[in-house]
Structure 1
Amino acid sequence: MPGAADLLALARDGDGDAFRALVEPYRRELEVHCYRILGSVQDAEDLLQETLLAAWRGIGGYEERASLRTWLYRIATNRCLNALRAGARRPPEYADYRPEVALPEPSHRRAEPSWLEPYPDVLLDEITDHTPGPEARYELRESVSLAFLAALQDLPPKQRVVLVLRDVLGYRAAEVAAMLDTTEDAVAGALKRARRGMPGPGGGSAPLPSSPQERRIVADFVRAFEAGDVDAVVALLTDDAWLTMPPLPLEYQGLDAVRNFLATVALRDGKRHVLIPTRANGQPAFGCYQRDPRTPILHAHGVIVLTLSGDRVAAVTRFIDNSLLATFGLPRSLRPTDGQG
């Protein structure tokens, strides 16, 4: 197998296979970088392709002033900034979304829809381990958590990318300034403002993934939700738990608000669901399917992600876009097995 220098020389001479071998170790982490900035799996996939195409076209001009990885991150970051400035990231099929029943008045109403989508853990596992720089503040699991990403999406684009490049990826201020064609002072100012709006790192309150504690909480939630037992679901929540449904801008906080939503919408009139376990953003997740009393078919009903805190559920996020199930390798409909009743 040729070394990196040989692959670079071949790629500059127009060898596509050499170029693919050169960038392959960075492909998944670049996609996750785009996902952090954009909040959308589909947008991240699209921007990754744009990044690699731009890199292929520009490989002849790569002067090796920075590492290949840094050069690729520069391209990806600026492509993401361009996408955010264009303001075109609005899935048209959900512009006129209408729920089956009228939704109760929310505790909070965001100024605009949240286009955040879940990211499968199975893809995160493909990232090559590049230890963050000494100034990085967020570990991989925390830097893709829904709470972190939701806060990130509320930042202005320049602050968003500066925080990711500095605090997640550990790039030095001078490197970030070079990537963004700006000054180190501008980078320092953007980072200071961005940090004010972000949760502190390393909360450590969630159980470890796949630990006995996490498995117990998840099993209790599945049992209660599939049984349609509103009281049992609520008993698993923290007092200030959140229930959200991206991209809808409606947010329900607190036991009373969540209980009312479950009783009048999600679990009303004896509605029953089957939850198929998966993982997203380092958190327990499920493909949600609703039982149809007229047929044996289970119909897709979005993706649910749980945010855990200690031995309770701090947030239930239900993504209403059924097309997201395919990202997790799950179908749009299921026939129940014996184990699913």
Structure 2
Amino acid sequence: MTRTTLDRARAGDADAFGELIEPYRRELLLHCYRILGSLTDAEDVLQEAMIAAWRGLGGFAGRASIRGWLYRIATNQCLNTLRAHRRRIPTEPTPPFQPPPPSRRGEIPWLQPYPDTLLDQTPDTAPGPAARYQMREAVELAFVTALQRMPPRQASTLVLRDVLGFSAAEVAAMLATTPTAVKGTLQRARAALQAHRGTGRPAPAPGSATEHELVRSFADAFVAADLDRLLGLLTDDAWLSMPPATHEYHGRPAIAEFLRASWAYRDTRQLHLIPARANTQPALAVYATGPDGGAAHPAGLAVLTLAGHRISAITRFHTDHLLPRFGLPDILAGPGH
């Protein structure tokens, strides 16, 4: 960025403004996603933040970097959205079969997956010295879910400090508070994160033989409706959830009961699974034919959380409208098409 570019943007040059903000757009989208938990909401709020930045560029005094200034605007736009209850709460889908009673009702029906294709386009900007987490570690589903369970200012403070590495003074300026208040909020956020995330076994490395074998075995068992084989891949305390549906199942017996009901409905429908990646985790896009075959239509995106040599969580997102964001087709044509 040159001073000339900034001057041109302040003078109303939209192209110059685009030059200023474009290097940060992807990382700001990820930032909004972490706070909001929804890719759809994050895209909308980021657009609002960019409009606010354009309108407020004349007030940019240059005491902070353009990047820090944009993070301040985007963070506060997220907080304003949450404060005004403008988050989209999707309608809970009605299953075509009678599911068994859930282990609990989920609290985060707005949760959506984040395509790794977008992460690949996001600059892995070196965080500040205060950062505790790498960028990709801090987009895992367990991390994002834990943020959704915190008060928004706690979540924002933790992301700004421990993920992005901004200093306490910088975060205080962004949130219009004091460094002392930031320190206290951060301590509470760290405690909440630890309580929600737990201390599970680490996942195998992305792309490793262990990950590949686990995903392949899960896909084979799922397509074949081989319940015993699938359950053998799970940890004893595994969770099955299906946002935006709120029913969740904990442990092998509860998951088995749900899968029996689901697979009984499947009947003669054929399943096709396509590998994908979401939130740095392996995923499988599910497509199902009708009872008489033919084209296969989307039936969810299953994101697998791995722990050691087992699967500790299956999150089957029923957000089929997002599949194109993963480079996945809207429909799989039947034989002869």
Aligned residue among 149, 169, 183 for 1:174 = 169
**Which residue of 37, 62, 77 corresponds with 1:39?**
37
Q: Which residue of 1 aligns with 2:316?
A: 318
CA offsets, 1:186-230, max 9 Å, x none? 111111111111136997711111111111111111111111211
1:99 and 2:95 matched:
yes
Q: Deviations over 1:272-297 (max 9, x none)?
A: 42111110000001211112231311
Aligned residue in 2 for 1:48:
46
Q: What is the distance in 2 between the residues matched to 1:201 and 1:122?
A: 28
Q: Partner residue of 1:236?
A: 233
Query: What are the Cα deviations for residues 86-128 of structure 1, in whole angstroms up to 9, with x where unaligned?
Result: 1122345x15x21111211112223x44311000001001111
Distance 1:267 1:158 in 2: 45
Q: What is the CA-CA distance between 1:324 and the residue it aligns to? A: 2.0
- Please list, as runs of the form range in 1=range in 2, the aligned pairs for 1:56-95 lying within 5 A after superposition: 56-92=54-90, 94-95=91-92
- 1:123 match: secondary structure: helix
CA contact (8 A) 1:137 1:201 kept: no
Preserved contact between residue 138 and residue 202 of structure 1 (Cα < 8 Å): no
Report what 2:327 is aligned to: 329
Distance 1:267 1:5 in 2: 65
Count of residues in Structure 1 that have an aligned counterpart in Structure 2 = 333
Single out whichever of 35-44 and 245-254 deviates more from structure 2: 245-254
User: Which contiguous aligned blocks of 4+ residues in structure 1 show a shift greater than 4 angstroms?
Assistant: 200-204, 266-269
Computed over aligned residues only, the root mean square deviation of the Cα atoms, in angstroms, reads: 1.9
Shift of 1:160: 0.9
Match of 1:223 among 210, 220, 224: 220
Deviation at 1:331, TM superposition (A): 2.9
Correspondent of 1:161 among 147, 156, 161: 156
Distance 2:125 2:293 in 1: 50
What is the TM-score of this pair, normalised by structure 2? 0.94
The equivalent residue for 1:150 is 145
Could you tell me which amino acid in structure 2 is paired with residue 29 of structure 1?
E
Instruction: Give the TM-score taking structure 1 as reference length.
Output: 0.93
Of stretches 168-177 and 260-269 in structure 1, the one that deviates more from structure 2 is 260-269
Percent of residue pairs bearing the same amino acid type? 53
State the alpha-carbon separation in 2 of the partners of residues 299 and 19 from structure 1. 42
**How many Å separate the matches in 1 of 2:87 and 2:276?**
26
Whole-angstrom CA distance in 1 between matches of 2:130 and 2:14 = 36
Instruction: Name the stretch that deviates more: 287-296 or 275-284.
Output: 287-296
Shift of the alpha carbon at 1:82?
0.4
Correspondence for 1:209 among 194, 206, 211: 206
Does the residue aligned with 1:296 lie in a helix, a strand or coil? strand
Q: Take 1:133 and 1:184, find their aligned partners in 2: how far apart are those partners?
A: 16
Amino acid at match of 1:41: L
1:254 alignment partner in structure 2:
251
Deviations 1:113-158 (CA, angstroms, capped at 9, x unpaired):
4311000001001111211112211112210000111111000111
- Residues 28 and 179 of structure 1, relative CA distance in 2, 3 Å threshold: same
| Equivalent AA in structure 2 for residue 302 of structure 1 | G
CA offsets per residue over residues 1-54 of structure 1, 9 Å max, x none?
Answer: xx4322112111211111111111100000000000000111111111111111
CA apart distance, 1:336:
4.5
C-alpha separation in 2, matches of 1:321 and 1:47: 19
Shift of the 337–76 alpha-carbon distance from structure 1 to 2, 3 Å rule, reads farther
What are the residue-to-residue correspondences of 1:21-36 with 2, within 5 Å? Answer: 21-36=19-34
Q: In the alignment, which residue of structure 1 is the partner of 2:131?
A: 136
Tell me the distance in 2 between the aligned counterparts of 1:109 and 1:22. 44
Distance 1:142 1:266, change over 3 A: farther
